[in-house]
Structure formats: C-alpha cells, structure tokens
Structure 1
C-alpha cells in the first residue's frame, strides 16, 4: 500500500473535519453589541465529531482585550457543541473576532478549530444617545437630580425594656436568697443529720456479714470472692474502730501493724492463722470443703464481736482516765 506524506494526511483530515458546509459546522453569536462587562456567547456545532478531547486550557483569541469567562463542550444529537462565554472591559469595535480551539481525536491526532469571525462592538456606560444628550447641556448647574427618598425616622424607647430587665434581675436575686436560706436551714441541716445517723463500723461489719452466704455447690471463684469479702470486712472494722490502716495491707503487713500497735495478742494470733489459711485457698488453690467455708464465716463473725468489745473497753478506759484527770 502506498504511503502518503504526513502533511497531506493532515490536510485531508482538516478538509474533511472543518469544511465550510452548513451541515458540518454551525456557528452563531448571541450579541453583536454589548456594554462593558456584558456577556456574549459564541457557539460552534460540529457534526460527527464524537469522542474529541477539547483542550480548553490552550484556547487562544484574536484580540487581547477579550476576557474569556467560561467554556463548555457537550455532544448532543450527533453534534459536538463548543460554547465560549466572553466579555470586554474596553470600549472598542472588534472586527473579525475569532477563537482558536485546540482538540485531539481518538487516534491522538491534534487539530486546531478556528471559529467563524464576527464583528462586535463594546460600548461604554453611556450609550451614544446619552453622550449626545450630555454634550448638548450648556449650563451644568441646571441639571435637576431626582430627590432622594427621605429616610424614615425610627424612634426607640429603652425605658420599657429597662423596667423588664430590672424586674428580672430582682426576681433572680430573690430566688438566690431563697435558695441560700433553704440550703442552709433545711438541706444542709438534713445532710448533717443523715451524716450523724450513719451506721457505726461494727454495724457496717455485721451488714456485710449478713450479705455472705456460702452454698454447697457454688463455683470456686464465687467462694474465693466471698472469702475476700470476709477478710476485707474484718480489716475495715479494725480500721474503723482502732484507726489501724488494715484494708490496704496484706496479711503479713496487717499482723505487723497490729503488733506495733500493741493489739490483743490472742486476737492477733487467730487473725494470722485464719487469714493465712484463707489466702492459701484464694491464691494457692488449696483444697477446701463447705464445712471449712462455714467455719471461716463463723470465726470471722466471732472475731468481729471480740474486736468490738475491745473497742468498747478501750473507750471506757479513756473516759475513766479523763474523769480522773
């Protein structure tokens, strides 16, 4: 097959694509005369130009004063529609104004479409008639201007609003005083009474003990948890009545603290023996049975009673010492 030179192929393609027949290319402009800043639109329609890529960023114009506002391309009813919206801010008569639109076909070949040339006039703010009328005025002092519409006066009276604001402030102040009185003479007083009526450490110990019930067939973890509650309840009783920091102590640290505070030796010995065996069950997974759990419960409860008796006896001695002094 004979190969044609590239220049000849390009010429044939351009001739086929951009022939001047009315069926292939339709071009129109919306206005031939515009005012400064007014929009005009040039629309070019090309037949059978589907899948063309329009390079709007490379669009060029024949007049430097023309400002391109927007561009758009679309394919509707077998026509490629190219739309250029433009204006000018310089009064001037433009002759043979046109745009050059670069595009690429699906095969990658580049083409440049030159729109139809138009003549368009851009007028200033005043039309020629207005300019002639202005030139015909001999005495500018006789020009009558339309009177401006008078601004309506608006009066604002702050006094009614001030009265409302003052009333609201007085009401808020009264409410604050009433709340203060209620809080100090009722709520605060009641809170103090509730605080005074708080249960004693021994009563709290008995309440904790009453909540513990060992079951013969319960899970080992449940039994270990109840043993921990038993030991913590006794520690809290010691702390509540003798102010010995027992709840946060291990068994060894608790026994050391009791000895340093000259606590009852017999009670200290029993606590050490019980807590050591309970720790073996909780932490070393030593074997146990239901009877042994019941034994721990009864023994802890008995120890709580003995510790409370020691507390009462200590208070009696303090009162007697105070009376003797």
Structure 2
C-alpha cells in the first residue's frame, strides 16, 4: 500500500486578502488614534513655543513680569548683593551726570565772566578778597540759585497765622491752611521724636523747596525757599523773629485773633524776601567806585603823558659827535 507524498511544512501563514488588510488598518486606527492626536497637539505646541522664542517682542512680554518679580524679591532678600552688582552701572551713570552738571556750571560761570563790567560784581570781588576767598568761589556762590518765595509768621500757642508775605501774591496758596498744617507738623514731630529731648523741627523739605523754621517764645517764623540759602540767612531769620517777639510780646501773649497791631512786622519780614534778591549799589558805593575809576584813569593818563614827553625829549636831544682817538708814535 503506497502512502501519499509528504508536504513540507513552512512558517508562512495563509495569504493576506484585501479584507484582512482593511481590518488591520481599522484596528490600527482604533489602537493609535489617541497617540496620533496627542502627537499633533504636541507638534502644534512646539510650533507655538518656537514662535515665542524667536519673536523678541513676545519673549520680552513673557519674561518681563517674572523678571520684575524676581528682581524685587532679590532686592528684598539680598539688598547688599544687588547694590554691589549694579554699582558699576549706576556709578558710571552718576559720574556721567555729575560731569555734565559740572560742565553746565562751567558754562554758566564762563558766560557770567564774559558779560559786561558789573560794578556790584566788582564790589563783591573786593569783599571776597577781604574775606579770604577767591573771586571764583564768590562767582560760584552767585551762580547758585536762591529765592525766598513766602514768609509766614505763626502764633506758637494757637497755631494761628499772624502775618503772611509772598513774592507773588496771585500764586500764593491758602496761607491760613498752610499755617495750621505747619503747626500740626511741628507738634507731631515734637511728640513723636522729641520725647525727653530739647529741640524742635527746623526744616521741612519737599522736592527742591524747603521750609526753614525759626522759633521764639510766642511765635515762630516759617520761610519757604527755593535753592541753597547763603551764609548768614538763618541768623537773619533768627534776628527777625526774636525782634518781633520782643517788640510785640504783650500782643503775642494775649493774642485774640486780630492781626492789626502786628502791622509794623511787615517791613522787617519783607526784608527777608528783598535780601535774597540782587541789590543795587548804594549812592556811597557808586561814589566810591566812580572815584576809584577816576583815579585809575588819571594815573593811566599821567603815565601816557609822561611816557610821551620822555619820548619826545629823547628824540629832540642831539646825538653827541663821536670822538675819534688817533694814537701817535712816541
């Protein structure tokens, strides 16, 4: 009995059909759909990030808030480190600003030096020599701006405004309100910082303006100034308030709100404003300067006349004939 031939075994499975390929594709779509969607989202997110990183304006808008918060936090936590880190930049900026200010001041001084002769400036130069300072220092002091804008005389006990003088009355603020506020500020400073100590508030600064305060027994003087006061201005204020306090002591001690008896204080207080303005030469100073100029001119004229006369005399004097000495043989 014969057997059928053996069929060799192979690893190949049954041949794939179109229906099976379609089924596999559907299966792949079901299994990997979520991953494909996630990959697409990641690609879109990467494109957005790339756009933000490559656009300077968008990048600055994103980083600026976080960077500002980080800097503020760093300043709070390590102030000294931040100062040391920023000192080179800030130092150069400050040096540049100061240098520019000095150059501006030099231009101002040069412009003043190039102006026409000023008799008042000549008198001040003489005063500078007598005081032991140079004329440049005196000119530098003249270039510093200083102006007295308002003067307030205030009752010390009640805080009422006794007298008010302003450089420009039209632009002056409510003087009564300012007087009350100054009294409140002085009292607050005395209660808050003057416990057990002798002293009082003598200056208030706001921007470029300052309020200089000098007090006496019954009243105090508040002067609003702009700039740097010259030497002796404080002493002048102190002299004014002490004089007013002594002269009107009875009126100030029993002050009833009527400022009429204090009318005489107008002139001494107004002198604080006028003293800050450039003063013209007095008649005596003008006569002295005129005499000095006349003496200088007379000396110059005499020198020129003497020189001319000497020159004419030399020209008219005949030149002596030369003497010729002939040696003779002996």
Shorter-chain TM-score range: under 0.3
**Structure-2-length-normalised TM-score:** 0.17
Answer 1 or 2: which has greater helix percent: 2
Q: TM-score, normalised by structure 1?
A: 0.17
Query: More strand per residue: 1 or 2?
Result: 1
Higher relative contact order (CA 8 A, sep 6+): 2
Which structure would you say has the larger Rg?
A: 1
